[in-house]
Amino acid sequence: MKITITVLLVLLGLSGFVFVDSFATISPNSAFTLEGSGYAVTENTIKTSEIDLVLSTQKQTGSSVKSSIEDGVITLDDKNFLVTKLDATALHEGQYIRINGIIESDTGDKASIKFFGKLVEESKNASVYGFTGRITINDNDYKIIYTAKISELSKINVTPLKSKTNENLTIHILKGS
């Protein structure tokens, strides 16, 4: 009887490790790309919108991972907004993502954003999130609806180029040049 209980406890403990690792979509000290598209909706208009960001995760506290957004662009119709100061937090082991901060257009228009994303589905190398939130530009408040893919950036292997140093170069100058 004791052996059965011991084996059951060991299996239960190991299944806990497997369960926790299955949600390790967004891990600390990694870089990710977030690419997606959707719509910006007001009472009077619906505009197309795209998002393309690079996230750099930092430390994990409990079940959340703090991130900074290093670079990126958010497009609202034909107007591009560059990342000025955005922060992201992956919550509940990557089940949710919150993005807040300021973006700025090339004409100097500033906008504040607040997005909240929920994990829809994941594969071995990427995850799909559904985002909703707000972009506020001057007095215009747009409700945002995105479907976005988050994938981890992989290391790029640099292969050195072989240079030819002892090669004779012949130059021909044409008459009248």
Q: Which regions of the chain are under pLDDT 70?
A: 1-27, 154-167, 169, 177
How many structural domains are present in the chain?
A: 1
Structure tokens at 1: 């009887």
pLDDT of residue 150: 92
42 inside domain: yes
pLDDT of residue 153: 77
4 inside domain: no
18 inside domain: no
pLDDT of residue 163: 58
3-state helix, strand, coil in the chain (%, to 5): 10, 55, 30
pLDDT of residue 20: 38
pLDDT of residue 60: 82
Structure tokens at 166: 């002892």
Query: Which CATH number covers residue 111?
Result: 2.40.160.30
Range of the domain at 110: 26-152
117 inside domain: yes
